[in-house]
Structure 1
């Protein structure tokens, strides 16, 4: 018998990706997968790519999750807190939702419009000192998808003093799976195909999380919906702090920060991140340069929003929490073509 794990909210895209990764994990035994409207349906009926995974989705009842060693919460924002509160303290939890990421309750209320459920250990192992905190934690809040793409590009530069924490600008495009699986008019194929559209301009909920994790003091963030199922490409720009070659200084900061990281790749000079290269993986690809006109540092970052941006990151954290090698059941290599 392996480590008993369960997924609450398994009918969504992130929940389905969790089921896929758990099915291929050598140490995990999936003992429960819950849903709301789709409770009672076989997993393979909800996620056809998981044909052969012989399990029926059940209602999200904390009693049905309490026997697991670790539970992944893949619930809509605002719902994880109530479920977590009813689970025994001995059950380890990884929350893919936003409920427990922020330290500032006022920021939570401002961006999410409800009461804050409390703060858990932040689940980004690549931040300095965070890996040990995750390994010692019983409850971990995994990152937001846009947040991880931006934080990995920006945090080492601010920490090294290479760029200013003021006037950070991010434009990031995401595939439609990042908006969830609920039927919405603006996500219909006829609306999305052949079109790019910004949304939540100037008020996206990942802004306080990015600022909290990077130390950015001022951040302008514009998300863009892209006509593809999954993937995020973020362009992060900031003002350099000195007249020295900003591209070289930024590249040194990134390569130093991620020299021993299994999932973060600073690409060779001249090679640029692409969402296709990270699909199906837990990888983040980075490249850096300086704008020849403005002098601003530019970092391009690509992740799979369901991989490093959600389910893969959650499994990475769970491995640490359970004393397993961090890379167990995960890959840094994408699928192609």
Structure 2
């Protein structure tokens, strides 16, 4: 059995990792750690995870985490680098924070307030590059993996096939995406109170300032083989989990609706965790809740000459924890979908 520790298990993402590991046939859950919640009974914070309810959360230190085969870091940005550096190189460390996602130091220092820590292999197996290669080629045998952000997961997998196939252009990408409140973490924030959120939607991070912007541009640039320019507007939706991303880009000269559709068919025909819906059906967040699936649809708005791609993802599962477990499977040479739910929960 593989032993796995989860740092930050008291948060939404950390608890979701624990939920998935409890169903993984090859993993034994080891240490569960937290910062301010250290010393707390795990079941008091995650009562739905009954098998581990009586565990007591330990402090997040390298000493507690060492000795496991795999360590998942579900920590705030800027906190992973020091812990990872203190762990053995033989340990598979899967970071769910932003610390190691970006390749360009200038991008990091523009959007984050901690020193640039470097770049790890990027945990989006399905991301297609302009040369046709996919992200999983960098994950086999990896000992350090950076899990993608939840918005970049939805946006990148929505549009990348069109950029890689040359049927969509990267210079004028517009994204409007809605996220459930769990994307903001578990800390108490007045604007996330039920009375503030219920019955209302609101934009935030408007004007190119959201921290996921450079990650989205990095991924779409990789797909296009040239720089992508992205206008990204996130919105907060009155739901606990889920992201619905609507992404548009100019259609390439000479590309028709059939060519656009075929690019997505070719990219995702064999992908177990990305499902291209039948023509005429559109993604809904409710259909992917609790699953490691991304539902995608694409069409061509011929009147204005723009490709329109829509993706739905559970921000806590495929958007974070599921991607982390998927990356661990690839790193350890296990079947990619081991322990991952490929069906949603409804109603």
Q: TM above 0.5, one fold?
A: yes
For 2:69, the equivalent position in structure 1 comes to 69
1:323 shift after superposition:
1.2
1:292 shift after superposition:
4.8
Distance (Å, rounded) in 2 between the aligned partners of 1:37 and 1:48 = 18
Q: Which consecutive unaligned segments of at least 5 residues does structure 2 have?
A: 128-132, 222-226
Cα deviation, 1:211-248, whole Å, max 9, x if unaligned, reads 11121521000000000000000000000012442x32
- After TM superposition, the structure 1 = structure 2 runs for residues 202-281 of structure 1, keeping only pairs within 5 Å, are 202-215=208-221, 216-245=227-256, 247-281=257-291
- SS of 2:177's equivalent in the other structure is strand
Q: Which consecutive unaligned segments of at least 5 residues does structure 1 have?
A: none
- SS of 2:200's equivalent in the other structure is coil
Q: Is residue 50 of structure 1 aligned with residue 49 of structure 2?
A: yes
Distance (Å, rounded) in 2 between the aligned partners of 1:268 and 1:262 = 16
For 2:7, the equivalent position in structure 1 comes to 8
For 2:119, the equivalent position in structure 1 comes to 119
Distance (Å, rounded) in 2 between the aligned partners of 1:24 and 1:229 = 22
For 1:186, the equivalent position in structure 2 comes to 191
Cα deviation, 1:16-60, whole Å, max 9, x if unaligned, reads 100100111111001101001111112111111112314211110
For 2:177, the equivalent position in structure 1 comes to 172
Q: Is residue 84 of structure 1 aligned with residue 84 of structure 2?
A: yes
- SS of 1:115's equivalent in the other structure is coil
1:136 shift after superposition:
2.4
- SS of 2:122's equivalent in the other structure is strand
For 1:156, the equivalent position in structure 2 comes to 161
- After TM superposition, the structure 1 = structure 2 runs for residues 281-296 of structure 1, keeping only pairs within 5 Å, are 281-296=291-306
For 1:336, the equivalent position in structure 2 comes to 346
Distance (Å, rounded) in 2 between the aligned partners of 1:195 and 1:79 = 33
- SS of 2:87's equivalent in the other structure is coil
- SS of 2:146's equivalent in the other structure is strand
Aligned residues: 335
For 2:100, the equivalent position in structure 1 comes to 100
- Taking structure 1 as the reference length, the TM-score comes to 0.97
For 1:32, the equivalent position in structure 2 comes to 31
